[in-house]
Amino acid sequence: MNRESALKIVKEQLTEHRYQHTLGVMETALFLANQYGADEKKAELAAIFHDYAKFRPKEEMKKVIIEQNMPECLLDFNSELWHAPVGAFLVQKEVSIQDDEVLDAIRYHTSGRTKMTLLEKVIYLADYIEPGRHFPGVEEVREMAKESLDKALIKSIQNTIFFLMKKGQPVFPTTFHTYNDLIMQSGGLNE
């Protein structure tokens, strides 16, 4: 599927603001893919469709999670997590994208997972650091991403965990597992 066709499909699913975010994620994913050796076409496609289900009704997403035997513990956590796994399912079903690497990059762009692939890391980080994002800590992660994909990823997850803890919100267990896995594989931020 070419870029124009993919963007046309996804634009119908998003608000204008979220569409602009998607364009930023796409450009950032292409930069990171080029810098770290990921497949640029797959990075572009995953970035374009990463928020495909973002504005689906919560009841529809809940139904997909249950019917597709996704981890039901998802329902115990913030519904912001739901659009990633539901999006991967809907992109496969409605858009007929069958590439497992692309679908997994969409599926795990909010929570991460242990043993993330290069493409998954690129999409997760591109979503976090795209130019339209403005929040404390994002500039530091952007700078880190120029030198080390893994260190930038660790810092982004660390920031997310701290943010949720400061707000008194639960942290999805997979996110903790992702953080631990990356720390153990890379030796941490100080190596």
* Domain CATH number, residue 15: 1.10.3210.10
pLDDT tops 90 at residue 189: no
Residue identified by tokens 């991403």 is: 145
Residue 159 lies inside a defined structural domain of this protein: no
The pLDDT value given to residue 188 = 64
Residue 157 lies inside a defined structural domain of this protein: no
Three-state DSSP at 47 gives helix
Residue 146 lies inside a defined structural domain of this protein: no
User: What helix, strand, coil percent values describe the chain, rounded to 5?
Assistant: 70, 0, 30
Instruction: Give pLDDT tens digits for 35-80.
Output: 999 999 999 999 999 999 999 999 999 999 999 999 989 999 989 9
C-alpha–C-alpha distance, residues 110 and 80, integer Å: 8
pLDDT tops 60 at residue 191: no
Residue 181 lies inside a defined structural domain of this protein: no
pLDDT tops 90 at residue 99: yes
Measured at the CA of 113, the angle between CA 109 and CA 114, to 5 degrees, comes to: 150
How many domains in the chain? Answer: 1
pLDDT tops 80 at residue 144: yes
Residue 183 lies inside a defined structural domain of this protein: no
Reference 84, options 23, 175, 159; nearest CA is 175
> Taking residues 87-104, what's their average pLDDT?
98
The pLDDT value given to residue 186 = 82
- 175 contacts 153 by C-beta, under 8 angstroms: no
Band of pLDDT at residue 129, cut at 50, 70 and 90: very high
pLDDT averaged over every residue in the chain: 96
pLDDT tops 60 at residue 125: yes
Domain residues for the domain of 31 are 3-135
- 120 contacts 113 by C-beta, under 8 angstroms: yes
Residue 141 lies inside a defined structural domain of this protein: no
Cα–Cα distances (Å) from 80 to 43, 84, 186, in that order, read 22, 8, 28
Stated as kind and residue range, the H or E segment containing 159 is helix 149-166
The pLDDT value given to residue 35 = 97
pLDDT tops 80 at residue 23: yes
The pLDDT value given to residue 135 = 94
Residue 22 lies inside a defined structural domain of this protein: yes
pLDDT tops 70 at residue 190: no
Residue 120 lies inside a defined structural domain of this protein: yes
